[in-house]
Structure 1
């Protein structure tokens, strides 16, 4: 009996030991930095505890930064989500030609993880003041695109963000779309439901939690993006990630406590989005089992 208990305990401990490196990684590189950031946001450089950095978030300039970041995130989430959902639907329902589907899927996977300085440079080389497309349009039509479109503007940042938002939405939605069983559509057809009725009463209700969860992840992804926006706009864009960079590593206005306070605000926004996504994902998983 004792040997049986020991064997049972060993069988229960083995999965936990296998997961131990993951929990160590999460603790060291996620939970610990968050804890240090929260502590820094309520302490002065002299070690005195204060709420002043957090209270400064209510000032007009910083409220505006959060509003601008939210606007940019919402716009790119809505547009990228709609176009990415269409792309995912096409990939899930189209099998031929196989080479085209595989090529689009491969590009989508890579583009969803693109960003930062390389992406910003690519768009500058294409649509910048002396970009290839800008120069070509000027030579062909005489119209200077740079006079009406700037990559550092809200519209320009939106276009650049869509480069990775659309593929990311497609990657997130592809498993959910692939999980729609053909038996459901066949059963609906046998009961007299057309394609539109099947989509309205069966497919969309099942896909709604997954879609909402993917949109929340897109929002968090855009809200926290830093390198791309900084490379394109620098200090010209009043966005929270850029302000954090100024206060943490700037040459003029370094303020670690307030930079941590701004990061705390971002963490709060992203945490809410991720918790909502987790709840929606749990609901989707039930349908797919």
Structure 2
């Protein structure tokens, strides 16, 4: 083909056209995801923010946002933050140990593969199925509860109510631990073997290498993943609702009361509660993004 001057296009021009065409195809491939995110994330967030700035009559008002600072709703936020922090810390530490074992264990290989597959599935399991599984296992008449009661006479349901704080913690750990393992494994596998070899050559013991090299390098990834676990637990709704019957004082359940309550419905105030949740989760994700960039710099 000839260009505007009648000369054949140079190799550089053809290369630029090829790069431009590749970028265009890349953007077109991203378009379905962008449309999906816009419809099911961006628009709902903006809509809830808009509703939170209006009262029940539709007039502009800051009353819904002011209302979330009432003691009963602040208490729901505090309870949710506590539950999220505890499950993120415990799930993060136990998940880190699981991920380290999966990355370093060489035998038996079949067990590592099974655990990795189970972690991938369990990390996405939640809601009513998970709640039913724990009720069937550890509820008042659960299989494990009845077995322990028949053998020892001890009723574990009296010590661990699944709808209580620690009961919910145990259930949440079921998906928090494998989620941590799945997410932190790439960072563990990214550790360079040369670092440990250099430490050993300089006379460092395995414990010193762990404390002064491995953990400092992995710290941003560990903390960032725990922040993701925090957000995951903070936004959980169906599992806690199914276990407690809606009686747990958590902010997600409180939102459900105002959006679909049988006694009263206040969608504007429910939207204000959602805006508060979004603000907390957004802070967690911003902190995780900063830590992710630092991790990528270390592992390059």
TM-score (norm 2): 0.93
CA deviation map 1:8-59 (0-9, x unaligned): 5334323222222222221111111100111111113432111111100111
Number of matched residues?
289
Matched-pair contact (CA < 8 Å) for 2:55–2:268: yes
Conservation of the 8 A alpha-carbon contact between 1:111 and 1:167: yes
* Other structure's SS at 2:141 match: coil
Matched, 1:138 2:145: no
Cα RMSD after superposing both structures: 1.4
Distance across 1 between alignment mates of 2:95 and 2:20: 46
Looking at structure 2, the residues matched to 167 and 111 of structure 1 have their Cα atoms a distance apart, in angstroms, of: 6
Which of these residues, 167, 187, 206, is aligned with residue 176 of structure 1? Answer: 187
Q: Which moved more, 1:213-222 or 1:4-13?
A: 4-13
* Alignment map for 1:73-222 (pairs within 5 Å): 73-222=84-233
User: Are residues 137 and 6 of structure 1, via their aligned partners in 2, closer, same or farther at CA, if it must alter by over 3 Å?
Assistant: closer
Note the residue ranges of structure 1 that are not aligned, 5 or more in a row.
none
Cα distance between partner residues in 2 of 1:178 and 1:194: 21
> Residue deviations 1:182-222, cap 9 Å, x none?
12111221222221121122111110110010010010011
**Which has the larger displacement, 136-145 or 215-224?**
136-145
Corresponding residue for 1:28?
39
Given that 2:55 and 2:63 are in contact with CA atoms closer than 8 Å, whether structure 1 keeps it comes out as no
1:206/1:284 contact within 8 Å kept: yes
Q: Secondary structure at the match of 2:55?
A: coil
Equivalent residue of 2:246, what SS? helix
Separation in structure 1 between the aligned mates of residue 157 and residue 264 of structure 2, nearest angstrom: 32
User: Does the alignment pair 1:282 with 2:293?
Assistant: yes
Query: C-alpha offsets along residues 117-158 of structure 1, whole Å, 9 cap, x if unaligned?
Result: 000000000111111111111111222222222111111101
CA distance, structure 2, for counterparts of residue 11 and residue 140 of structure 1: 68
Call closer, same or farther: CA 1:142–1:8 in 2, change over 3 Å: closer
C-alpha distance in structure 2 between counterparts of 1:135 and 1:260, whole Å: 43
Moved over 4 A (4+): 5-8
Unaligned runs of 5+ in 2: none
Aligned-pair distance for 1:72? 0.6
Q: Deviation string for 1:147-180 (max 9, x for gaps)?
A: 2221111111011011011111111111111111
Partner residue in 2 for 1:16 = 27
**CA separation in 1, counterparts of 2:62 and 2:196?**
57
| Partner Cα separation in structure 2 for residue 218 and residue 67 of structure 1 | 17
TM-score by length of 1: 0.96
User: How many Å apart are 1:234 and its aligned residue?
Assistant: 2.2
- Tell me which structure has the larger Cα radius of gyration: 2
CA contact (8 A) 2:240 2:246 kept: no
Return the alpha-carbon distance in structure 2 between the equivalents of residues 283 and 147 of structure 1.
Answer: 46
Name the SS for the 2:68 alignment partner: helix
The match for 1:253 is 264
Q: Does the Cα contact within 8 Å between 1:234 and 1:242 map onto a contact in 2?
A: no
